[in-house]
Structure 1
Amino acid sequence: MTSTPVRPASPPVQGAAPPHRTDPDPGGADPAPAAASTGMARARGALRRTPGQLRLVLVLCVLATLVVGLLGFQAGRVQSSALEAASADSAQLVGVQEVRNALVAADATATGSFLVGGLEPTEQRARYDDLVDTAAAGLAELSGSNAADSELLGQVASDLTVYTGLVERARANNRQGFPVGAAYLDQASTILREQMLPALDEVVVDDADRVAADFSGVRNALWVLAGALVALAVLVVCQMWLARRTHRVLNVGLAVATGLILVVGVAGTIMLSSASSRAHDVRDGPYAATLAASQAYSLGNDAKSMEAFTLIKRGSGQSYEDAFVEATADAAERLDTAQSDGVLDDTTATALDDWVAQHAEIRALDDGGDWDAAVELATSTGEDSPNAAFAAFSDAARADIEAGAAQTRDDLASAGTTSAVAGWLLLAAGLVAALLAWRGVTARLEEYR
């Protein structure tokens, strides 16, 4: 058996390159930066030429006008929303005050009727029932209109059922001449003043805080004017550049866009500023007047209850008289402040003073030992009686409350409409100006194609 000889492999030549070696990137450089550098160079090159510069002008003009439109629309939307919230929250606040006033007035009517003894006057009984029904309906409506107030208002509604039950017991015993009737009436009044009214006062404070926050959200719109001025500067500079480069004095599209931004920007700013100013006027005017009259009315009815309790207690009611003095002094101070601020006239304050002066006659009779005469004067219904004076005060306060609430609602609604219209007007102007600027610059750009 023979074998075929095999020649041994030759050793590699010293210094020779290995076979089949490949090196696609001998320098080891990353191509990405090079590509980016090339793109930037191309962009710089394009901007050195007129078509590239025209495209840049086109982008600047369109963006400037769109920003004005969007800023104006956002300002109008925010302002309109704040005014709408202020209107709703102020209505809620006034409504809660109305419920409080109805409850205090009902309590004053019940205690006043108790002084008559026996079967109470039909007119006063009807007034009490109407006030209780008004309070109950108001609690149900207000609980559903604002979830933040529903828990406390529901608690008051539950306490109202207990209160009216105690008043009915007091009436039943009073008709039969049982002294325990005064205890039931005192217990009912305690529930009203220690549970129901504090809960309503807490709701009033919460609502007042929300209203204050709403009014704070209605800010001046001068920053919209600032944005419009910046856009105008961009448009004017671009037109000046176009005039030098194209040797045309006027670019119609840019000129009309500039005029549109100028006119609508100024008009929109004036409208937004006017709405903001009107909102602050409402806050310091009819809204403040409504709160002052409502609080004075509530304090007056509270004092009316104290007047009756002072007589019911027969010689041991000094604490109720002290409460009467404190409540009427607080009411007078609120009305005087509103009058000095120019938001209320002196009608309600004068009526309150007249009633307080006649109350002094009741106290003079009682303190002089003539309790029967004091009760007779306190329960009389003649034209010159204390009850007639109190009715005049109540009517004047109610008129102030209704007028202030209506004006607050109408003025805020009008201001909100103005803000919304200004926002849409600025948005439309921005869009139209952007289209005009695009057409104006595009016409010059087409000349280079």
Structure 2
Amino acid sequence: MTVLLLTAACAALLLVAALAASRTWDSTAERHAPQTVSAAGLNLALNDMDAQAANILLSNGDAGRGRMDVPYAKATEFYDAARHTISGDLRTLAVAAEGDAGDERAVETLTEDFARYQELLGRALENDGRAGGKADALTDYRAATDLLAERLLPEARGLVEANDHAFDATYTAERSALATQSTVLAVIGLVLFAVLVLLQWYLARRFHRVLNPALLAATACGLIALVLGLHLLASSGELLRVARRDAFDSVVALSRARALAYDANADESRYLLDPSRRAAYEQSFLAKSQQLYGVEGATLSSYDAKLTESWARYRADHEDRIFTGEFRRELDNITFTGERAAAERTVETYAEYQRDDRTIRSLLAQGKEREAIAFGISWERDKSNAHFGAWMKALDDVTGINQAAFDGAVRNGRDTATGRLPWAVGALLAAGVLTVLGLRPRLAEFR
């Protein structure tokens, strides 16, 4: 009876643990990670939409006269794409928020603010389409970008943080549960093994037999079940760690970096568009640059030199802590094949984009406003937007490596939770049946 109770306890524990792990993988793959990524994508698309609106105003000339055709067409295309992305992300987040009053309110508020933001930008673009409407267009654009900075972006970042924290809480709880379940399973499994050994010893002494083959087989099945069960729990915990810490932590850091990149790029366009706010936009650009790649004491005039120096020190010694920021978070979390080369390429393309920013400001300081605008919003080879595109491609590459690793860990975690469970439970059932079969002949001798 004791053996049967112990095998039943092990089987029940494994069933509970595997079902809980499966639920965690489901919530990870279908709720927490997609919500966090959608919220980060929303943050990025908001910044991109604002940047493209500024680029449209910069390239349109006077109601189309003197228009920079290629930058204008590109900006219009990207503006519409960002607007559609935001609408889709808001729908995704609204569906995911159902049942959570706080998330529902957050998404509802963000949706209402976005509607107001679209209205202001639409009015700015409409005013810019009429002769002499530039001043009114700029007034409307200022109101829109203020709404973006004061409400929309903080709301979007809040959703990113809330969803990421929810994921982290689920991860921490499940890892703790798996550790506890492993300990309990090991104790019960060792007790089962000890009982089976003692039973074998007792039968050998009582009935003067060396071994009971059925009990010996039951003991082997119990050990196999214990090893399989412990491996199931340990593998689930390790794959969960890989998914969250090795892969998704990097996905989040890189998503933040991408959103900051688009915001910094928008600051360049705002700087060119609105002379009265140039000092503020210049400081904002520097602040975002420091969030991406932070170098203590750097100003815009010294940033490039400090970036070059600190990057050389890092390449010589990866433990050198001379710089901080989102890029540092990723570089400190290198795990997967090809990830370091891709992450370093991201910093190198970022440095090139930063040098372009200084060219824009230099041209403007020389009174070459049209040349500065053309360099800043052009997609021609060796112009600022072309280098920005190369930087985003590099960011996408390193993000893709981590996303693929995350997807692989989720897939393997699901397979582990469901694939090994039947074998472990089957071995426990076999141990119970073999114990009964082994004891029946001995019990019959008492009749």
Contact 1:83 1:215 in 2 (8 A): no
Offset at 1:442?
2.3
- CA distance in structure 2 between the aligned counterparts of 1:227 and 1:81, rounded to whole angstroms: 24
Offset at 1:403?
4.0
Contact 1:76 1:420 in 2 (8 A): yes
Question: What RMSD in Å do the two structures reach over aligned CA positions?
Answer: 1.9
Q: Percent identity?
A: 24
Q: What code does the residue aligned with 1:334 have?
A: E
Is 1:328 matched with 2:271?
no
Give the alignment partner of residue 95 of structure 1, picking from 29, 38, 56. Answer: 38
Offset at 1:222?
4.2
Is 1:282 matched with 2:277?
no
Residues 1:183 and 1:402: Cα distance change in structure 2 (over 3 Å): farther
Matches of residues 13-412 of structure 1 in structure 2 within 5 Å?
59-87=1-29, 88-118=31-61, 119=64, 121-147=72-98, 148=100, 149-176=103-130, 177-178=132-133, 179-216=135-172, 217-218=174-175, 219-220=178-179, 221-314=182-275, 316-332=277-293, 333-343=325-335, 344=339, 345-412=343-410
Q: What code does the residue aligned with 2:329 have?
A: T
Q: What code does the residue aligned with 1:125 have?
A: T
CA deviations 1:128-161 (Å, max 9, x no partner) are: 1111111101211221123233331232222222
Contact 1:111 1:309 in 2 (8 A): yes
Q: What code does the residue aligned with 1:396 have?
A: A
Q: What code does the residue aligned with 1:425 have?
A: W
- CA distance in structure 1 between the aligned counterparts of 2:368 and 2:207, rounded to whole angstroms: 104
Offset at 1:410?
3.0
Secondary structure at the aligned position of 2:446 is classed as coil
Q: What code does the residue aligned with 1:85 have?
A: S
CA deviations 1:68-104 (Å, max 9, x no partner) are: 2222222222233223323331221112111221121
- CA distance in structure 2 between the aligned counterparts of 1:267 and 1:427, rounded to whole angstroms: 9
Offset at 1:391?
1.2
Q: What code does the residue aligned with 2:418 have?
A: A
- CA distance in structure 1 between the aligned counterparts of 2:420 and 2:385, rounded to whole angstroms: 52
- CA distance in structure 1 between the aligned counterparts of 2:36 and 2:248, rounded to whole angstroms: 10
Paired residue for 2:300? none
Paired residue for 1:429? 427
Give the alignment partner of residue 415 of structure 1, picking from 413, 425, 444. Answer: 413
Q: What code does the residue aligned with 2:153 have?
A: L
Paired residue for 2:321? none
Offset at 1:411?
1.3
Offset at 1:359?
0.4
Contact 2:242 2:409 in 1 (8 A): no
Offset at 1:279?
1.6
Could you tell me the TM-score, scaled by structure 2's length? 0.83
- CA distance in structure 1 between the aligned counterparts of 2:147 and 2:404, rounded to whole angstroms: 32
Q: What code does the residue aligned with 2:238 have?
A: S
Residues 1:421 and 1:146: Cα distance change in structure 2 (over 3 Å): farther
Secondary structure at the aligned position of 1:346 is classed as helix
- CA distance in structure 1 between the aligned counterparts of 2:420 and 2:97, rounded to whole angstroms: 29
Q: What code does the residue aligned with 2:117 have?
A: Y
Contact 2:225 2:428 in 1 (8 A): no
Offset at 1:164?
1.5
Offset at 1:334?
0.9
Residues 1:159 and 1:100: Cα distance change in structure 2 (over 3 Å): same
Q: What code does the residue aligned with 1:137 have?
A: G
Q: What code does the residue aligned with 1:166 have?
A: L
Offset at 1:314?
1.6
Q: What code does the residue aligned with 1:142 have?
A: L
Offset at 1:315?
5.2
Contact 1:64 1:234 in 2 (8 A): no
Offset at 1:124?
1.7
Unpaired stretches in structure 1, ≥5 consecutive residues: 1-58
CA deviations 1:154-198 (Å, max 9, x no partner) are: 322222222122111111212223211011111111222222221
Deviates more, 1:361-370 or 1:382-391: 361-370
- CA distance in structure 2 between the aligned counterparts of 1:436 and 1:286, rounded to whole angstroms: 45
Deviates more, 1:136-145 or 1:231-240: 136-145
Secondary structure at the aligned position of 1:285 is classed as helix
Paired residue for 1:42? none
Unpaired stretches in structure 2, ≥5 consecutive residues: 294-324
- CA distance in structure 2 between the aligned counterparts of 1:134 and 1:384, rounded to whole angstroms: 28
Contact 1:72 1:422 in 2 (8 A): no
Paired residue for 2:299? none
Contact 1:264 1:425 in 2 (8 A): yes
Residues 1:271 and 1:305: Cα distance change in structure 2 (over 3 Å): same
Secondary structure at the aligned position of 1:381 is classed as coil
Secondary structure at the aligned position of 1:249 is classed as coil
- CA distance in structure 1 between the aligned counterparts of 2:170 and 2:427, rounded to whole angstroms: 28
Contact 1:96 1:142 in 2 (8 A): yes
Contact 1:271 1:419 in 2 (8 A): yes
Could you tell me the TM-score, scaled by structure 1's length? 0.82
- CA distance in structure 1 between the aligned counterparts of 2:4 and 2:184, rounded to whole angstroms: 20
Residues 1:411 and 1:212: Cα distance change in structure 2 (over 3 Å): same
Contact 2:39 2:159 in 1 (8 A): yes
Paired residue for 2:298? none
